Amino acid sequence: MKIDKKHLLNYSIFLPYMILSIVGLIVVYSTTSATLIEYGRSPFRSVINQGIFWLVSLVAITFIYKLKLNFLKNSRVLTMVMLIEMVLLVIARFFTQQVNGAHGWIVLGPISFQPAEYLKIIMVWFLAFTFARRQKTIEAYDYQALTKRRWIPRQLSDLKDWRFYSLVMILLVAAQPDLGNATIIVLTAIIMFTVSGIGYRWFSGLLGTITLTSTLFLGMISVIGVKTVAKVPVFGYVAKRFSAFFNPFNDLTDSGHQLANSYYAMSNGGWFGLGLGNSIEKKGYLPEAQTDFVFSIVIEELGLIGASLILALVFFLILRILLVGIKSQNAFNSMMALGVGSMMLMQVFVNIGGISGLIPSTGVTFPFLSQGGNSVLVLSVAIGFVLNIDANEKREQIYQEAEEEYHHRMSEELMSQSKVVEFKEM
């Protein structure tokens, strides 16, 4: 019995993804058309570019959905992908021009891409692969199975340590500096570490450590002053983010301009919004409104109620992805899905936290709604992985149930035959 994957598609994940992607195209048009017209360009330019990336993403989802999962579990394929990613991160950091105070974009003619975006899904893949292979050891030795080597390798064999690879790639992202994506990768890695099979008490310890460290770090910056931090060459641009976090209204013409106007946009929206396309702040007041501060414009145009419905759909999608991971019987499948769900959740948290002033703004895009073809492609690839995993888990379950049913029928037939024999002998 062979079951075609197309009959096992998880529509509770695929349909929200489609809806959010279409809503994202509408939002991209709404946030970019006025500025494009002002500069004498076609109002459809940005949405067409976004749409092209989305169509490519649909092709990528179809391709990934048809792949056999053994491809993802091939260590040679994963090693090659990671080496290519490391090379691209080095090129992005040291051989590209700055954009808005940071490196990170590799431009090849009309095409540009950001390696740090792709590292998010690669890291999820790498950690899922690594932790899944150590399940028996984790059961026996708890967290020590994942921390038996040192952070800094002292011999060649130590280069196989998952922490060494993770640390190198995260540092390359942070050095661009791209603290937003670095934060998402670190938080996602911590969540995957805690769901790898180690004792639950370690999650509480890690969460407490992160909270305490973040509080002390922000307190230290507050005491020594943002201007002192700005003198460090790498963190000059990042220092402005902290300055805006502490009080955006102290410098409305520079560091606090974006966050303050984000507040104005959300205040303008009220409960029901000004109407789609009627945002005031996107018309030159809120810089780069179509990227990391896009949700402020969504609130301004659709109101708190409309924005909450979109946010609810995003959380529904994330929960359905996490549910795939929880139900999966295979360790790799489980951690891959949980990693993807955690990655999306952390991206929403960092973006909403930044535009609302709960955490320093980091320039992270909002999933599906922000302009950015790389972000759409990475999210779509992640969705493709989860859909593939879910279909394979369903197929394995069907095969298992069919096999159990077959054995049950065979045992019943044997029992009935034995009763017939006993009756004839009587």
Taking the C-alpha atoms of residue 69 and residue 390, their distance in angstroms, rounded to an integer, is 11
Q: Alpha helices, DSSP H only, in 39-149?
A: 45-66, 75-94, 115-132, 135-141
Which pLDDT score is estimated for 152? 41
The predicted structure's pLDDT at residue 149: 47
Centroid of chain to Cα 114: 14
Tokens of 67: 């792949």
CA separation for the pair 321, 323 (Å, rounded) = 5
Strands 111-113 and 106-108: antiparallel
Cα 18 from Cα 25, distance rounded (Å): 11
* pLDDT of 168 strictly over 50: yes
**Contact criterion met (CB below 8 Å) for 307 and 333:** no
Q: Specify the pLDDT at position 26.
A: 93
Residue-range domain boundaries for the chain: 1-66+256-391, 69-224
CA end-to-end distance (rounded Å), the chain: 41
pLDDT of residue 300: 92
Q: What is the largest CA-CA distance in the chain?
A: 102
pLDDT at 101: 64
Environment class of residue 147 by beta-carbon count within 10 Å: exposed (0-12), middle (13-18) or buried (19+)?
Answer: middle
- Banded pLDDT at 321 (limits 50, 70, 90): very high
pLDDT of residue 395: 84
Q: How confident is the model at residue 242 (pLDDT cuts 50, 70, 90)?
A: low
Q: How confident is the model at residue 24 (pLDDT cuts 50, 70, 90)?
A: very high
Query: 69: which residues sit within 8 A by CB, 6+ positions away?
Result: 332, 333, 388, 389, 392
> Comparing 11-15, 44-48, 177-181, 239-243, which segment has the lowest mean pLDDT?
239-243
d(CA 120, CA 378): 8
Confidence band of 156 (pLDDT split at 50, 70, 90): very low
Highest mean pLDDT among 142-156, 278-292, 340-354: 340-354
User: Torsions phi, psi of 102, nearest 5?
Assistant: -145, 155
Mean pLDDT of the chain: 81
* pLDDT tens-digit series, residues 297-320: 999 999 999 999 999 999 999 999
User: Per-residue pLDDT averaged across 183-212, rounded?
Assistant: 79
**pLDDT tens for each residue of 393-415:** 888 777 777 777 777 677 777 77
Average pLDDT over residues 138-163: 53
Q: Is the pLDDT of residue 43 over 50?
A: yes
Query: Given phi > 0 = left and psi -120 to 50 = alpha, else beta, which region is 9?
Result: beta
Instruction: Evaluate if residue 207 carries a pLDDT over 90.
Output: no
Structure confidence at residue 62 (pLDDT): 92
